[in-house]
Structure 1
Amino acid sequence: MNRYAGFKLLIVDDHAHNLFTLRTLIHTHLDVAVLEAASGQEAIDLTHQHSNIDLIILDVQMPDMDGFETAAMLKLRKRSRDIPIIFLTAAFKSEEFQQRGFAVGAADYLLKPIEDHQFINKISTYFRLIEKERELNRILESRVAERTQELAEARQYLENIVTYMGEALLVLTAEGIIKLTNPAACQMLGYRRDELLGMAIGDVFEEDADEQAGAFMGLWLEALIRTGALSKIEARFVASDGRRVPILFSRTAIKTNTGYISDIICIAKDMTGYVRLEANADSTHDVC
């Protein structure tokens, strides 16, 4: 029967006979590995040598460094601060003693002479709690890993859409500064991605009508605030070499819960090669 195999217990007592008694009792009832220390300093040294100690049984009355001092030192060190400590004592049964033990980080305490059944039940309870906590942590880590993978896949999916879409994409701040773009926009405008990022939209955008020129962050922004989007308009991009690229352009505002614009999404279709022919007074046709 697996009785907490894989767990490691440190017992600390300055009397070799007490260590033998505890070790024998533990091995009789449990499959845990047992480390032994005959002093507080030796206990501290063992926690440095072994990073996987699960529980410490610590005698209070020891020379040089008693159990309280040892516990305080263990709690100061990162490697050992989270290890539960159960005090063993033959004296100091008062509430004042208990409070002092808990103050230095003890999880529990037992009185000498040890009652075998009570002792095994006590440490078994702690191993059971540790086991449950670790299982919960494993479940949580698994769920976090799954969620992280899902988010990574979703992000990659969206990045692929942005990367391979045929239209130029520019995402602006509320002030009209380019904060994200895609390869189609870079190709259309003749800029590298790092060159476009941080530029103002006015540096690459030229609206068709004179009265609209320079108003990219003006009246149309007020319309975006009211409606969240503007219908497509005919305009021109100004490429890096000065070329005017005719585009069909749409703008959408992303708003916060309080109604402020956080981002502006601009999508432009290259209309080069398309010529508008006036078929009659009340209809138009686009031909390539």
Structure 2
Amino acid sequence: MIDGFDYKLLIVDDHAHNLYTLRKLIEKHLQATVLEASSGREAIDLTLSHHDIDLIILDVQMPEMDGFQTASLLKRRRRSRDIPIIFLTAAFKAEEFQQRGYAIGAVDYLLKPIDDNLLINKISTYFRLIEKERSLNRELEIKVAERTAELAEARQYLANIITHMGEALLVLTPEGEIKITNPAACRMLGYSESDLLGLSIGDVFEEEGDEEAGAFMGTWLEALIRTGALAKIEARFIASNGRRVPILFSRTAIKDTDGAITDIICIAKDMSGYARIDNDNVKEALTTTHLERTTEADHDR
């Protein structure tokens, strides 16, 4: 064990004495779980049953399946292809064999008789590299978990705002189909959320002065594309029971980086119970009030 990390090492050799000597050497200098295999086939089977092997020390000269063949099969399998392999050999010392070992994917090619300190240093080096990778992965997992929690909190915060806002919210596709709504819109229109989603905005919207069926997706949409938003207008919602609900309505376009509209955000305020006063009536009321005040002032004098 190095700095609190646990390691698992597989040693492969067809000679029991070599396995015993190598195990004792490793256990004397390093804290690691040591697995033994006396053939290439057994080594492959162990990597299938143990998914957490960190390093393989593999003898090259073995009967039936030599170290090169074993390594080739290990590198083809998804579960074992990333395990570092150190080759050990007393017979295959020529440069061509070393190059073959590296070509297969070995990280080291050591010649017997092995210097004990050299081998332990090699193993320790790979354990430290594994330790560093584990630490980085653990830090990444923590950061991902923190970021995921932040995003979940932000989504919940936004969902609460949408749920509790007093105005009706409708988010449309560029074609005018309702894709997102909120409880206020459902209450105002008398639809359940599932019934409202998928409807065309033309099914629930009636703009004053627009007699053509396609008015909502007509000229105003052209202006929306040009400017990205339109000022609030007076219009009506058509509730599920046919009732007209007077609303103050605003529409905003969301665009992608190419300028194409991806969503249309519609917000409506229920204006039921609000009296509509024309500008002429306001002027007349103000004039009358001014005259009344002037007459009262003259009378007091």
- TM-score, with structure 2 as normaliser: 0.89
Deviation at 1:92, TM superposition (A): 2.7
Separation of aligned partners in 1, 2:134 and 2:240: 59
Give the corresponding residue for 2:60. 60
% same residue: 74
Aligned partner letter, 1:231: A
Give the corresponding residue for 2:181. 181
Shift of the 247–284 alpha-carbon distance from structure 1 to 2, 3 Å rule, reads: farther
Aligned partner letter, 2:162: V
Aligned partner letter, 1:31: Q
Q: How does 1:128-147 map to 2 (within 5 A)?
A: 128-147=128-147
Aligned partner letter, 1:102: Y
Deviation at 1:49, TM superposition (A): 2.7
Give the corresponding residue for 2:85. 85
Deviation at 1:249, TM superposition (A): 0.5
Separation of aligned partners in 1, 2:222 and 2:56: 68
Give the corresponding residue for 1:192. 192
Aligned partner letter, 2:255: K
Aligned partner letter, 2:220: W
Structure 1 stretches of 4+ with a deviation exceeding 6 A read none
Deviation at 1:281, TM superposition (A): 3.9
Give the corresponding residue for 1:226. 226
**Secondary structure of 2:202's partner?**
helix
Shift of the 113–216 alpha-carbon distance from structure 1 to 2, 3 Å rule, reads: same
Separation of aligned partners in 2, 1:214 and 1:283: 36
Give the corresponding residue for 1:105. 105
Contact 2:75 2:82 in 1 (8 A): yes
Per-residue Cα deviation, 1:168-206 (whole angstroms, up to 9, x for no partner): 000111111111111111111111112211111111100
Q: Which runs of 5+ in 1 are unaligned?
A: none
Contact 1:236 1:245 in 2 (8 A): yes
Q: How does 1:143-222 map to 2 (within 5 A)?
A: 143-210=143-210, 214-222=214-222
Give the corresponding residue for 2:299. none
Per-residue Cα deviation, 1:241-276 (whole angstroms, up to 9, x for no partner): 111111110111111222221111000011111121
Shift of the 3–92 alpha-carbon distance from structure 1 to 2, 3 Å rule, reads: farther
Shift of the 213–190 alpha-carbon distance from structure 1 to 2, 3 Å rule, reads: same
Shift of the 68–4 alpha-carbon distance from structure 1 to 2, 3 Å rule, reads: farther
Contact 1:202 1:216 in 2 (8 A): yes
Bigger CA drift: 125-134 or 187-196?
Answer: 187-196
Per-residue Cα deviation, 1:209-260 (whole angstroms, up to 9, x for no partner): 1457632111111111222111111110011111111111011111122222
Give the corresponding residue for 1:41. 41
Deviation at 1:279, TM superposition (A): 7.5
Contact 2:174 2:264 in 1 (8 A): yes
The answer on 1:244 being equivalent to 2:221 is no
Per-residue Cα deviation, 1:128-186 (whole angstroms, up to 9, x for no partner): 00000000000001001100110111011111111111110001111111111111111
Q: Which runs of 5+ in 2 are unaligned?
A: 286-301
Give the corresponding residue for 1:16. 16
Question: Which has more helix, going by share of residues?
Answer: 2
Contact 2:225 2:253 in 1 (8 A): yes
Separation of aligned partners in 2, 1:124 and 1:210: 80
Bigger CA drift: 183-192 or 212-221?
Answer: 212-221
Deviation at 1:33, TM superposition (A): 1.6
Deviation at 1:41, TM superposition (A): 1.5
Contact 1:4 1:127 in 2 (8 A): no
- TM-score, with structure 1 as normaliser: 0.93
Contact 2:102 2:109 in 1 (8 A): no
Separation of aligned partners in 1, 2:62 and 2:217: 78
Deviation at 1:71, TM superposition (A): 1.2
Aligned partner letter, 2:16: A
Q: How many residues align?
A: 285
Deviation at 1:93, TM superposition (A): 2.8
Contact 2:5 2:131 in 1 (8 A): no
Separation of aligned partners in 1, 2:265 and 2:76: 53
Larger Rg: 2
Separation of aligned partners in 1, 2:242 and 2:61: 87
Contact 2:188 2:239 in 1 (8 A): yes
